[in-house]
Structure 1
């Protein structure tokens, strides 16, 4: 698994294909769906689209295409994908739809227009599956590249950058996101943008003498630094939790202004962070103008901060402080427990055992995600929304490479990744929790 004799990208691609084929096989052989609402929706609203799509193939391929649609494609239209898939072919209608990752479904519409893809439900959904999985592999390549850059020669006494980078890529392929990263969720697009942004920030920084004793930090390439902010701003349109990446620029501003007294670098951090803030501002202004400028305005329009996203999260998904802390949600906390555990271990690794102060801003973002997931959100989503940060993969890779591989914890977590991928993909295809 950890040999790097062949080209790393080849190894990553082979592993990626093996995992994806295995996941799709699990979907295919999942016998029935527990929740039949999607099947009813597809039969009543898109049966004609299905027949048109199948009939577009010749008589030899029709049975094969029909089997793939029945046993794979339709089983992937579950949970939030139902909303995305509807928006691929229909205009946005309802209040809660405005919070569903607006850039993701618009990207699919844009790609379909460029390729002149017919506005057929099944055709567009298959395009979205291709896009999602291509972006998953692109994210694997970006975390590989980012890892090689972060764990450079100056840290060779702790890490072999080639081994840790390919191991991080492999663990990302086996991410706890599992079925979510194979279906048409926006997580893959979000991760690709975030990893690219983190990479651009990394290569823009001068880490001369930057360690626990002497934290000298400066910007050596302002163009890449500004581009990182643009990528983070775009990622916000894919998943709103990436707003927390603004912590990175707040950290930079603190170091540049308070510690280094550098006005120029402080200005760059403010400008880069403002891109992300602008994304937040534009999205809120847009929904406000849509809903709150007419005679009949929704109740949230009169709030002190009239945010549709904040209202929808509380009203439709029951998000709020400790609102998820009920006995019936104990299984959902257990689903997220491995992700929470490895995230917490990362603090010990990168601040005490393998001190890397330059990872502190990413650790701070990871902390904010954990606090939100444990105390405010639907906790089980941590298995997929943490995929926009590389911390879990770096921590696990270090455990594999630098610890005793026979230790119960390391072996247990590796078994967990494999078994959880099998279990979750099967549950996902059967339309069973976790969502």
Structure 2
């Protein structure tokens, strides 16, 4: 019988096949609203990897037309580099990745299809594979944080069929962001901090909001500093924890700011015009924020217009679910802090008592491969757990050997939540505020689509034991997810406005 993790991987792969099939059918059955995606002007400068002449122009044009909306810009950056000021809004991880794939694994296809078509193929393959891996990390992270394998499984299924699914199977950066963001968070709370730091930094080179993941590093550093200063009375350890956390957080910001520096060098110092662009003269010359404001009209309350009401309605389901998630977990955290003090929660987290023992083997299935080397191979009487590299691994190993109380620090209430949910809620709160008040609000569907608390809260509503109003809301959630997958697969590939 397949383990839950294997089942999630299969569901994630099946969901990609479903979305791609629906998108291809939509392209065949309906005429695109905007056919400009097929236009392919030559690069301003000769690319380092010149495209080969294709013997099948119709096939090449069909494949190239699969890059729509932002996908056009990502494909252009991969083929020609960053030619225009506004192209710097599209961060380099996806273009660099598909360039690497098209020049290596898919290079034999270039003589037959042409370079641009191969870039589009590379992007679609990469993003769909990345999504499957992201779904696996989502399940592992959910088990680690929620300590409820059933809730983690339901939330992961919802993630596999999330409302922004079409973007995860297109030439967009959502899949890579989700992979490195969710993977980085899993390794962070599992205790593999170096791997986590690298993955979270990569998430910041996929999407600008990836830099916000530095907040999770800060949260963990504060917990360690509190434990060192208050519990262990080791003030130097506390300072060391804070300094290390600061350095790791800075590392996560580096890719984003390095790309801004690259834009500054190309436009402000080595630009082709004599007059400096306005943002070049700023004290902090941030190209990304200027592009968002100047070219797309992004800014605080700038989208609050009567004509944008349809877009607010389009974003209302995901925003409502996000607000519900925030309120739900704030209530649970309040109950948690009423039953046990914040001090006890922090110390319990640091000492590894936060992970409850599982009666089922699902927790072991998720973490066995990473902690098996730390378990004693022989049991004599009460099994002794070897010294762990990390707090979380130590707790998980103790859990598997039955050395942790089944009550745990959360208590017997299965609707309770651990302290580790707090940084996820703070992150989601900031993202929701930004999506509603600052951004183009319709983008909220994909902007918030990689935020775990949304699916955790939806999983809570869909729990089998719940009835009454929860059952009705669960029905609406399922309908919402299905409807947006169908709408997205129909509208997006044909260049109709979606989100």
Name the TM tier (shorter chain).
0.7 to 0.9
User: Alpha-carbon deviation of 1:275?
Assistant: 0.6
Of 466, 482, 490, the match for 1:403? 466
Deviation string for 1:57-97 (max 9, x for gaps)? xxxxxxxx94x974xx4553211001111222223211111
Q: CA RMSD in A?
A: 2.6
User: Alpha-carbon deviation of 1:389?
Assistant: 2.3
Partner SS for 1:292? helix
Contact 2:139 2:152 in 1 (8 A): yes
Distance verdict in 2 for CA 1:166–1:54, change over 3 Å: farther
1:217-366 correspondence runs (5 A): 224-257=192-225, 261=229, 262-294=238-270, 295-353=274-332, 354-366=416-428
User: Alpha-carbon deviation of 1:116?
Assistant: 6.1
1:146 aligns with 2:157: no
1:413 aligns with 2:477: yes
Separation (CA, whole Å) in 1 of partners of 2:455 and 2:263: 36
Distance verdict in 2 for CA 1:171–1:75, change over 3 Å: farther
Distance verdict in 2 for CA 1:69–1:23, change over 3 Å: farther
Instruction: Quote the residue 2:413 is aligned against.
Output: none
Separation (CA, whole Å) in 1 of partners of 2:316 and 2:227: 37
Instruction: Quote the residue 2:31 is aligned against.
Output: 32
Instruction: Quote the residue 2:437 is aligned against.
Output: 375
1:52 aligns with 2:71: no
Instruction: Quote the residue 1:8 is aligned against.
Output: 4
Partner SS for 1:407? helix
Contact 2:146 2:417 in 1 (8 A): no
Separation (CA, whole Å) in 1 of partners of 2:193 and 2:81: 36
Separation (CA, whole Å) in 1 of partners of 2:445 and 2:37: 23
Separation (CA, whole Å) in 1 of partners of 2:73 and 2:255: 22
User: Alpha-carbon deviation of 1:251?
Assistant: 3.1
1:14-163 correspondence runs (5 A): 14-30=10-26, 31-39=30-38, 41-42=39-40, 52=54, 54=56, 66=59, 70=62, 73-74=63-64, 76-115=66-105, 117=107, 118=110, 120-152=115-147, 159=148, 161=149, 163=150
Separation (CA, whole Å) in 2 of partners of 1:339 and 1:360: 20
Contact 1:256 1:263 in 2 (8 A): no
Separation (CA, whole Å) in 1 of partners of 2:427 and 2:119: 34
Contact 1:143 1:195 in 2 (8 A): yes
Contact 2:74 2:95 in 1 (8 A): yes
- Farther off after superposition, 270-279 or 134-143: 270-279
User: Alpha-carbon deviation of 1:265?
Assistant: 2.1
Separation (CA, whole Å) in 2 of partners of 1:37 and 1:178: 24
Contact 1:108 1:127 in 2 (8 A): yes
Contact 2:22 2:489 in 1 (8 A): yes
Unpaired segments ≥5 residues, structure 1: 56-64, 153-158, 205-223
Contact 2:200 2:210 in 1 (8 A): yes
Instruction: Quote the residue 2:189 is aligned against.
Output: 202
User: Alpha-carbon deviation of 1:170?
Assistant: 1.3
Contact 1:139 1:195 in 2 (8 A): yes
Separation (CA, whole Å) in 2 of partners of 1:322 and 1:395: 28
Partner SS for 2:96? helix
* TM-score normalised over the length of structure 1: 0.82
User: Alpha-carbon deviation of 1:341?
Assistant: 1.2
- Farther off after superposition, 309-318 or 85-94: 85-94
Partner SS for 2:304? coil
Contact 1:75 1:430 in 2 (8 A): no
Of 404, 415, 424, the match for 2:488? 424
1:187 aligns with 2:163: no
User: Alpha-carbon deviation of 1:225?
Assistant: 2.1
Distance verdict in 2 for CA 1:122–1:74, change over 3 Å: closer
Unpaired segments ≥5 residues, structure 2: 44-50, 230-237, 333-415
Separation (CA, whole Å) in 1 of partners of 2:172 and 2:296: 17
- Farther off after superposition, 286-295 or 422-431: 286-295
Deviation string for 1:231-265 (max 9, x for gaps)? 21111110001122222233344444467532232
Contact 1:300 1:308 in 2 (8 A): yes
Separation (CA, whole Å) in 1 of partners of 2:462 and 2:299: 37
Aligned residues: 389
Contact 1:256 1:265 in 2 (8 A): yes
